[in-house]
Amino acid sequence: MTWTLSQRAQKLTSSAIREILKVTERPDVISFAGGLPSPATFPVTQLQQACNEILTTEPTPALQYGPTEGYMPLREWIAVHHSKRCGIPIGADQVLVTTGSQQGLDLLAKVLIDTGSKVLVETPTYLGALQAFSLAEPRYCSVPSDDAGLIPASLTAEMCQEARFLYCLPNFQNPSGRRLPLERRQQLAEITARAGLLLIEDDPYGDLYYQGEPLPGLLSMNPGGVVYLGSFSKVLAPGLRVGYLIAPPALQRKLVQAKQAADLHTPSFTQRMVHTTIKDGFLDSHLPQVRALYAAQCQAMLQALQKHFPPTVQWNRPEGGMFIWVQLPAHIDSGELLEAAIQQHVAFVPGAPFYANEPQSNTLRLSFVTVPPAKIEAGIARLGALLAMRSLPRQ
């Protein structure tokens, strides 16, 4: 028999990245495509202790249905952690635990987007956000960006008018690896506050800075006008699917209602695994190790790029996170390059799917966190050879 799909479902397509990842799961492929954290950072011993502690001391609530808002001690930990970081009071009543921060995007789409609503995004932006928002069928408006990220001065009154929100990743953005400078953060917070425009601050990579201190977040600059999305996927383990959002209380309550219909609540068990592991300061000793590992991996890739990529190709030098963004000469299509690369057993993600409007097909994303340095050099060398062939003056 046949059935009638909803209009939104008819427009649904699988993520291009997902399809690439299937090809590149073969062990003979050097893949810079994935956005997976390094398994070397998973605190297996601590998580195993947490499981045993939970199932010994409080098995019933850990295995029973729980509140939609999340496990209260975890919500309180999150509130205290961000209160300290932001230097402003944040209540546990502003926190909603989500099934990964991807779910936060889905809930925001449900609660804030009508068909045709204007939504502002960065150029490029996180593909998973486009997928989540698109189910509510918004009209995207891409805010101009440069190598330092979103350009606040480009936010005209007309652009802000009637927009439901502006979605951005100020820290080590996926896909570009860019970190928004302090001055731009201040300008962005000011302009959007004046325009009455809600900011969605997506921050899965904020803890992964390589040196110095983190930059102040947008939430600290306009607590009443920002929804903050956080995640334990990059600092503990993504397979637990524990993320969260912090929102003004009235908006948090609407998001709770939407979450109730979506999955009742995030697993009681994995929420407790996270809380039991982090509650006594584990992240203070754990995060410096993750940062050092990723900084070294990033350095290895930057050196390989310098050595093997032709001078016509440009890339950034990330200050944190998991990604490097590459700009090829305008005539090279990264989708075509990927096909050739896969023949050479190397993979990356083409940049085009990360653009809400006017895709730039001469861009690509490289992840450096899961491939060991020796293989990073081998993979980049192969890509460099392919690029060198394509960069020759045309005959």
The token duo for 60 is: 């019933």
C-alpha 156/C-alpha 105 separation (Å) is 25
- Among the listed ranges 231-239, 303-311, 324-332, 337-345, the one in contact with a second copy (CB under 8 A) is 231-239
Q: Is 30 in the site for a second copy (CB under 8 A)?
A: no
Residue 39 CB, nearest distance to a second copy (Å)?
4
C-alpha 166/C-alpha 199 separation (Å) is 5
Q: Is 198 in the site for a second copy (CB under 8 A)?
A: yes
The token duo for 117 is: 């609503």
Q: Is 164 in the site for a second copy (CB under 8 A)?
A: yes
- Cβ proximity to a second copy: between 11 and 307 the closer is 11
Between the CA of residue 376 and those of 173, 247, 298, 300, what are the distances in Å? Answer: 21, 40, 10, 7
Binding mask 268-307 for a second copy (x = CB under 8 A): xxx--x----------------------------------
Q: Is 392 in the site for a second copy (CB under 8 A)?
A: no
Q: How many CB atoms lie within 10 A of CB 213?
A: 6
Q: Is 112 in the site for a second copy (CB under 8 A)?
A: yes
Q: Is 29 in the site for a second copy (CB under 8 A)?
A: no
3-state DSSP assignment of residue 186: helix
* Residues across the chain: 395
Q: Which of 6, 57, 211, 285 binds a second copy (CB under 8 A)?
A: 6
Return the ∠ at Cα 147 (arms to 141 and 151), rounded to 5°.
45
- Cβ proximity to a second copy: between 104 and 149 the closer is 104
Picking from 218, 171, 214, the residue whose alpha carbon sits closest to that of residue 198 is: 218
- Among the listed ranges 206-214, 236-244, 283-291, 311-319, the one in contact with a second copy (CB under 8 A) is 236-244
Number of residues in contact with a second copy under rule CB under 8 A: 84
C-alpha 202/C-alpha 192 separation (Å) is 16
- Cβ proximity to a second copy: between 61 and 91 the closer is 61
- Cβ proximity to a second copy: between 240 and 301 the closer is 240
Binding mask 121-160 for a second copy (x = CB under 8 A): -------x--xx-xxx------------------------
Are 141 and 159 a contacting pair, CB within 8 Å? yes
Q: Which of 16, 29, 51, 381 binds a second copy (CB under 8 A)?
A: 51
Q: Is 208 in the site for a second copy (CB under 8 A)?
A: no
Q: Is 175 in the site for a second copy (CB under 8 A)?
A: no
Chain centroid offset of residue 302 CA:
21
Q: Is 110 in the site for a second copy (CB under 8 A)?
A: yes
Return the ∠ at Cα 220 (arms to 216 and 224), rounded to 5°.
155
N-to-C CA span, the chain: 56
